Structure 1
Amino acid sequence: MAGKVVLHYFNGRGRMESIRWLLAAAEVEFDEVFLTTREQYEKLLSDGALMFQQVPLVEIDGMKLVQTKAILNYIAEKYNLHGKDLKDRVMINMYTEALIDLMEMIMILPFTPDPNSKLDNIQNKAKERYLPVFEKTLSGPPHLVGGKLTIADVLLLECTLMLEEQFPTILSKFPNIKAFQGRMKSIPAISKFLQPGSKRKPPPDDVYKKTIMEVFQFK
């Protein structure tokens, strides 16, 4: 019998947060090992656990998986969150890759010399390039693809909540997305993940940034 899923990453959001969201939606319990020192990272390297010398690292089903999209796809396939057929999956992949692109713009803000200068660009791209697509898609069906919950829905909720942290009124002209948020938050597993004390991580702070800089020896 496979042991519990174990996530190796920093005690913060970053690229691991979407993985946490998806595991929570799939009702999969997981443990976390937080990277806090350079020595921990070097041990993972010397043990051969990091194929491309990068985290996130997820231990699942006797494997040590790296590369965020590969990990997300594996979890989505394993827990039936990746559509019913090839055409569903390609649509889901297009949506999820777009959402990851948008979230990464927000993720790198703490490591940007002048993050405030990037906010207008992020908000404009969100409102003009990304959100209209999801607003149109959600004009009828309750979910983005195939009439059922998929990874695309989970990441859309994560992404829009991240956007609202930065831009509180950004969804004011996207009523379908707001309604979608309400439906998603009513799902018991997701509602639980949104409660205080869950393994959902807060927005990055100075401690998170300092830890990453020290572990990776960034200057």
Structure 2
Amino acid sequence: MAGKPKLYYFNGRGRMESVRWLLAAAGVEFEEEFSKTAEDLQNLIKSGKLMYQQVPMVEIDGMKIVQTRAILRYIAAKYNLYGKDLKEQTLIDMYVEGMRDLYDLIMFSPLTLPEERGKTISFILEKATGRFFPVYEKVLKDHGKNYLVGNQLSWADIHLLELILMVEECKSDVLLAFPKLQEFKARISKLPRIQKFLQPGSQRQPPMDDAGLEAAKKIFKLEKGMFYKHGSIILAEF
């Protein structure tokens, strides 16, 4: 019997969180090895396991897979969460790639300078409600089905729920103008595997707090030279 997938990252959301969500939705138990210091990460690099000397990396089925999209596509395909044919896979890819644009805005937002935080949250909410959520609201309304693609759970549905919950951490009533997304959120959240992952004590990570941000900066050596402003990563001294 094959061992559990093993996830290599730091103890936080970042780019690995979507992998956790997808494995949980597939009902797959997994292990994690966290880099807690810059030295831990350097030792992992020296081990030769990381193709591009960076995480995330997942050991699964005898492979060491790097690059987030490659990891997610493999898991989605392996566990029947990637559509039934090429057309459905393309739709899933389009939806997910759009979601990733918004996801990255949120993921990098902790790097915002204190005086920019309010503007950054407003920028995220503007993009969510003006560009991205209307797309998925229309999809669900037009085809009248429970899921974004076909009529079965896919990677796109899982990623959308994850994203909705992240945006709601910025503004709890952000779905007020999106009734189909409200129904979608309630429906997907009740699926047994998803419901289990949403419970306290699961491997789902909380939003990054100041302590987590400081730890990540030290692990990835981000203490200088980078901050986030209105959706862009800016190189600067601070």
Q: Under TM normalisation by the shorter chain, which class is it? A: over 0.9
TM-score (norm 1): 0.98
How many Å separate the matches in 2 of 1:163 and 1:217?
A: 27
1:154 maps to 158
- The superposition leaves residues 145-169 of structure 1 with CA deviations (integer Å, 9 ceiling, x where unpaired) of 0110000000000000000110111
Gaps of 5+ in 2: 225-238
Aligned partner of 2:157: which letter?
D
Runs of 4 or more above 3 Å deviation: none
Aligned partner of 1:38: which letter?
A
1:200 maps to 204
Residue 2, structure 1, aligned to residue 8, structure 2: no
Gaps of 5+ in 1: none
2:235 maps to none
Residue 71, structure 1, aligned to residue 85, structure 2: no
How many Å separate the matches in 2 of 1:210 and 1:49?
A: 26
Across the aligned residues of Structure 1 and Structure 2, the Cα RMSD in angstroms comes to 0.9
Deviation, structure 1 residue 115? 2.5
How many Å separate the matches in 2 of 1:156 and 1:27?
A: 18
TM-score (norm 2): 0.90
1:132 maps to 134
2:80 maps to 80
- SS at the partner of 1:146? coil
Matches within 5 A, 1:1-219: 1-113=1-113, 114-139=116-141, 140-218=144-222, 219=224
- SS at the partner of 2:169? helix
- SS at the partner of 1:166? coil
- SS at the partner of 1:138? helix
- The superposition leaves residues 59-99 of structure 1 with CA deviations (integer Å, 9 ceiling, x where unpaired) of 11111111111100000000000000000000000001111
Aligned partner of 2:79: which letter?
Y
Deviation, structure 1 residue 116? 2.1
How many Å separate the matches in 2 of 1:38 and 1:164?
A: 32
Aligned partner of 1:2: which letter?
A
How many Å separate the matches in 1 of 2:148 and 2:83?
A: 10
Deviation, structure 1 residue 56? 0.7
Alignment length (residue pairs): 219
- SS at the partner of 2:180? helix
How many Å separate the matches in 2 of 1:205 and 1:80?
A: 35
Deviates more, 1:49-58 or 1:114-123: 114-123
